[in-house]
Amino acid sequence: MAIPRLIRAPFRRQPPDTGAAFAAWLNTPTGEQLLAEERRVLADVLPRLPGLRALQCCAGTPESLLEASVMPLKWTLGTQPGVDIVARPSQLPLPRQCLDLVLLHHSLDFEDDPHLVLGQLARALQPGGALVVVGFQPLGLWGLWRLFRLHSPKVPWIGRFIRPHRVSDWLQVLACEVEGFDSGLYNLPLAGSMRRRFRWLDTLGARFWSQHGAFYVLVARKRAAVMRPLRPRFSLPQAAPNVVPVSMARWRQRHEPDATE
């Protein structure tokens, strides 16, 4: 089955050492804060996704972000030392429909062709399988900070910071339905005493702009079948749907285990 092509302009190619640079940045105080918040959100999301085989695609070092998953078989894929499968996600060496869960950890931010990455991973997902995308949120304080560092050659600011609604549009083309969305880390990208000085931003952000933190976590599920109805001869224009309509709170309620069990 051919992967659907998405109409687009070519993306800017990332420097060849981006993966290693991002891996080094994750070991800085700011990077460690980001990982801690991402683990907190994933610890609530992953246990609600049952299955057998899970794959984590790493832009940097293979951080153990699948620990909270209940799936018995887990692998990491990337180009940095320590991964189980040495490959780029855009050149996925796996057969069709062999995975129940795929976790993309900032791969869309740093891969040369994020469209191709999503297409390859959607091909490898079982019908009903889940795709969890972790990326930088451009509509937050970190995105605003990035605007002043657009010409910086350092990570993470050379990343794409793709809007979640745009990622949702791409997933719709690939027969994946968005089920939930969450965000976190509302402080500025600072560390030490400077971060403590702006600690009040964490409280305000969690209350007033909870969907616009430093990162987002988007949960999508591959549809079991794709039906293409015949195009009518005459049709009325329709408003574009909101592609991220479900909050993570409602998604949690839907997947909450039955208390009587």
What does each C-alpha distance from 88 to 80, 94, 120, 196 come to in angstroms? 10, 11, 10, 38
181 vs 76: CA distance, rounded Å: 23
Q: Quote the CA–CA distance of 48 and 179 in Å, as a whole number.
A: 12
pLDDT at 197: 79
Q: Which amino acid is at 73?
A: L
Calculate the CA 107 to chain-centre distance: 8
- Rg (C-alpha) for the chain, rounded Å, is 19
pLDDT value of residue 151 = 64
State the pLDDT at residue 239. 57
- Tell me what pLDDT residue 10 has: 59
Q: What's residue 241's pLDDT?
A: 53
Q: From CA 14, how far away is CA 117, in angstroms rounded?
A: 14
Residue 221: helix, strand or coil by DSSP?
Answer: strand
Distance CA(188)–CA(195), nearest Å, equals 7
State which H helix or E strand residue 205 sits in: helix 200-208
242 token code pair: 């909101």
What gap in Å lies between CA 22 and CA 25, rounded to an integer? 5
What is the structure's pLDDT at 7? 46
**What pLDDT is stored for residue 13 in this prediction?**
81
Confidence at residue 203, expressed as pLDDT on a 0 to 100 scale: 82
pTM of the entire predicted model = 0.80
Longest dimension (CA), the chain: 65
pLDDT at position 229 is 61
The helix (H) or strand (E) run that includes residue 75 is strand 73-78
8 A C-beta contact, residue 178 and residue 186: no
CA-CA distance, 146 to 259, in Å (whole number)? 44
What is the residue-level pLDDT of the chain in tens, covering all 261 positions? 455 554 454 577 888 888 889 999 999 999 999 999 999 999 999 999 999 999 999 887 788 899 999 999 999 999 888 899 999 999 999 999 999 999 999 999 999 899 999 999 999 999 999 999 999 999 889 988 888 876 667 889 988 899 999 999 999 999 999 999 999 999 888 877 777 777 888 888 888 888 899 999 999 999 876 556 656 655 556 555 555 556 666 767 777 765 454
Cis peptide leading into residue 156 (ω within 30°): yes
User: For residue 81, what is the DSSP state?
Assistant: T
Residue partners of 22: CB distance under 8 A and separation at least 6: 59, 60, 106, 110, 155, 156
